[in-house]
Amino acid sequence: MHKRVAILAVYCLAIVGYAVAQSNPQNAPTSGQSSATSQSASADAQPKAKNDEVADAKESKVTPPATPATAPNHTPVNGLKIPSGSKIYVAPMAGFENYVVAGIMKKKVPVSIVADRDKADYEINGAQETQKAGWAKIVFTGNDSTNEEASINVTQIKTGAVVFAYSVHKGNSVRGKQSAGEAIGKHLNEAIGKD
Amino acid sequence: MRKATILLLAIAFSLAAFAQDTQSKDAKGQDAKPAEAKTTNAPLTNKKIPANSKVFLAPMGGFEEDLKAAIQSKKVPVVLVTDKDQADYEIAGTSDTEKASAAKKVVMWNWHSNEQASITVSDRKSGEVVFAYSVNKKSSAHGKRSTAEACAKHLKEQIEGK
């Protein structure tokens, strides 16, 4: 009797352990150009997790007063600002650079994106990671949305100074990498529009 | 004994599901983010692509073939060239396919894949990106064809100025 219960308990623990292991983020990001500054700069500026596009739209419409404790950290890392109309080069990020460019274009960020680094004033580097839904999540929640994480930093090419950094985490991302790319575009737009 | 077994298994599976869903809840807890004032900056990179421009499709892991077919089926007014030197514009991009997992097939009875793709169109002379678009299709009915056709449709709208 006791032996049966013990076996059952071990079996249950194995299931939970497997699920927890699946839920942990993977060790390495998909592209290796992550910057340490990017996470610290705006860790508190994470957008809403669920139904992110709707949430983004709502955020831009409603403007409650910002308190210093919860205000997103959009202040430039080195006290430098990105001027409107700057030429920006988006470095390869294992395919994610295309989503970033699309996000910047969609959010109408006042910059010129160039494909040649030599013609650019600023460079965007970063890393992105996707976590697919595990079997337990699909079985019990009926949700197969991915969790997305991305982090970028904008560097002035001449001086090498990091002028802006942002990281985003979207749990149950409705539109996958597109959501992360658009969040980056939105916050870059806000940073540039503040001058 | 049987009830206890069922109860234990139910708890274990519930915990498993909860563990896989923790990240979204963590994110929810941190979203005390005040809205920013909406900026009204006009995009600078919003130049139009002239009709009948020569366009080169860069390799995208096979997605370029779908995109080529979609550009033709959607009648996008561009001329596709195979030589990069002859092209005025270059389309680069990426595409990801997530095949339906066993759990999705069993629980949702759904065999369709999730597709996402993103393209950028850059002017070869100036090096400027003139158009970019990304698409995400859950349970895509026609796989990559759907995302490619979405890209082609929006490219056509951009060229025609809609």
CATH of the domain at B125: 3.30.160.670
Chain A residue numbers touching B150 (CB-CB < 8 A): none
Report the residue of A123, A144, A169 to disrupt the B interface, i.e. the one with the largest count of B CBs within 10 Å: A144
The continuous run of DSSP H or E covering B2 comes out as helix B2-20
Q: Does any CB of chain B come closer than 8 Å to the CB of residue A155?
A: no
The pLDDT value recorded for residue A185 is 95
Chain B touched by A44 (CB under 8 Å): yes
Please indicate, yes or no, if residue B58 is contained in any of the structural domains.
yes
Q: CB–CB of A37/A163 below 8 Å?
A: no
Answer whether 0.95 is exceeded by the pTM: no
pLDDT at position A179: 94
Residue B19 distance to chain A (closest CA, Å) = 5
B15 occurs within a structural domain: no
pLDDT tier at B107, thresholds 50, 70, 90: confident
Q: Which of A6-10, A99-103, A113-117, A132-136 has the lowest mean pLDDT?
A: A6-10
pLDDT for the residue B53: 94
* pLDDT given for residue B106 in this prediction: 84
Q: Is residue B107 part of a domain?
A: yes
Chain B residue numbers touching A61 (CB-CB < 8 A): 35, 38
**Confidence label for B136 from pLDDT (cuts 50, 70 and 90):** very high
Q: Which of residues B22 and A161 earns the better pLDDT score?
A: A161
Tokens, residue A193: 């529009």
> Domain total for chain B?
1
Chain B touched by A176 (CB under 8 Å): yes
The mean pLDDT of B129-150, rounded to a whole number, is 93
Residue B17 scores a pLDDT above 80: no
Is there a contact between A193 and B41 if contact means CB atoms under 8 Å apart?
yes
Q: Do B104 and A138 touch (CB under 8 A)?
A: yes
Domains parsed from chain A with CATH numbers: 26-192 (3.40.50)
Query: pLDDT band at A139, cuts 50/70/90?
Result: confident
Does residue B101 register a pLDDT over 90? no
Condensed to tens digits (0 to 9), the pLDDT of residues A55-69 reads 444 444 433 443 344
Task: Give pLDDT tens digits for A26-51.
Answer: 443 333 333 333 333 333 333 443 44
pLDDT of residue B108: 83
* Residues paired with residue B97 on neighbouring β-strands, in sequence order: B115
How far apart, in whole angstroms, are the C-alpha atoms of residue B10 and residue B4?
A: 10
Among A5-9, A29-33, A188-192, the range scoring the smallest mean pLDDT is A29-33
Contact partners, residue A88, CB within 8 Å, separation at least 6: A104, A111, A112, A113, A114, A120, A121, A122, A123, A124, A154
Q: Which of B32, B43, B138 sits opposite A105 (nearest CB)?
A: B43
Residue B8 resides in a domain: no
Three-class SS state of B63: helix
CB spacing of B129 vs A114 below 8 angstroms: yes
User: A126 to chain B, minimum CA–CA distance in Å?
Assistant: 17
> Which helix H or strand E contains B18, and what residues bound it?
helix B2-20
Q: Chain A window 22-41: which residues touch B at a Cβ cutoff of 8 Å?
A: 22-23, 25
| Residue in A with minimal Cα distance to B37 | A63
Taking the CA atoms of A14, A16, A22 and A26 in sequence, report the sign of the dihedral they define.
negative
Mean pLDDT of the B49-76 span: 94
Q: Chains A, B: CB contacts under 8 A, how many?
A: 243
Judged on CB neighbours under 10 Å (0-12, 13-18, 19+), A36 is: exposed
* pLDDT greater than 60 at residue B31: no
**Alpha carbon B101 to chain centroid, angstroms:** 19
Q: Which range scores top for mean pLDDT: A50-54, A69-73, A140-144?
A: A140-144
Is B17 part of a structural domain of the chain? Answer: no
- Three-state DSSP state, B68: helix
What mean pLDDT do residues B64-74 have?
Answer: 94
Name the minimum distance, in Å, from the CA of A80 to any CA of chain B: 19
Tell whether B88 is covered by a domain.
Answer: yes
CB contact (8 A) between residue A48 and residue B33: yes
Cβ separation B92–A132 shorter than 8 A:
no
Question: Considering only A21-35, A165-179, B70-84, which range has the smallest mean pLDDT?
Answer: A21-35
Q: What is the mean pLDDT of residues B103-130?
A: 91
CA distances (Å), origin A56, targets A18, B29, B62: 34, 16, 33
Closest to A59 (Cβ–Cβ): which among B14, B27, B35?
A: B35
What share of chain B in percent tops pLDDT 90?
A: 57
Parent domain of B95:
53-160
